[in-house]
Amino acid sequence: MKKRKMLSVGSLALVGSLLFSGVALADFSDWPTLRQGSSGGYVTGLQANLYSYGQQSAVGTIDGSFGSGTRTGLINMQRATGLSADGVAGSSTWSEMDDASIFDTPYTWTLHTPYSTTYMTSYRESGGRLAYALQYKSDASTVKSGYIY
């Protein structure tokens, strides 16, 4: 059973009304399967998300290139969350990330996990683009930001 955390009753009402009007929610469910050798904006998002799971040491630099560090960080995250630890970011991995997210509106959400005391990753979809911001949990200041697409 998939759970979504919403910040307020107003947000919940807005989501419900948009669902009935046929507007899709932004989340990780449409993200592609990623594996070592993949590159681009989705990998950048995965790397930022792995920081939110406490895997910054394994991942290293957020550079959009799925190398051995990203694979190691992903395997560590998959093990910690009870997923099959295959080092491939597929539907189960994205579903876990959705479950750990707080959905502010249909177009903004934050991946906020108990696995990192330092980082969270916020997303905002607008004008056909999806922006991310890796932030410190302590004060929400941005460490790194960019676009997934």
pLDDT in tens, 75-108: 999 999 999 999 999 999 999 999 999 999 999 9
Q: What are the strands of the beta sheet with 129-136, ordered from one edge?
A: 5-6, 101-105, 108-111, 119-126, 129-136, 142-147
Distance CA 82, CA 117 (A): 20
Q: How far apart are CA 103 and CA 28, in angstroms?
A: 12
Rounded mean pLDDT, 13-23: 40
Q: Which of 147, 134, 143 is nearest to 50 (CA)?
A: 134
Please indicate whether residue 112 or residue 7 has the higher confidence score (pLDDT).
112
- Angle 9-113-85 from CA coordinates, rounded to 5°: 130
140 falls in which pLDDT band (50, 70, 90)? Answer: very high
Rounded mean pLDDT, 120-129:
96
Residue 9 vs residue 78, higher pLDDT: 78
5-14+26-147 fold: Muramoyl-pentapeptide Carboxypeptidase; domain 1 (1.10.101)
Average the pLDDT over 113-141 and give the result. Answer: 97
Kindly tell me if the per-residue pLDDT of 129 is higher than 70: yes
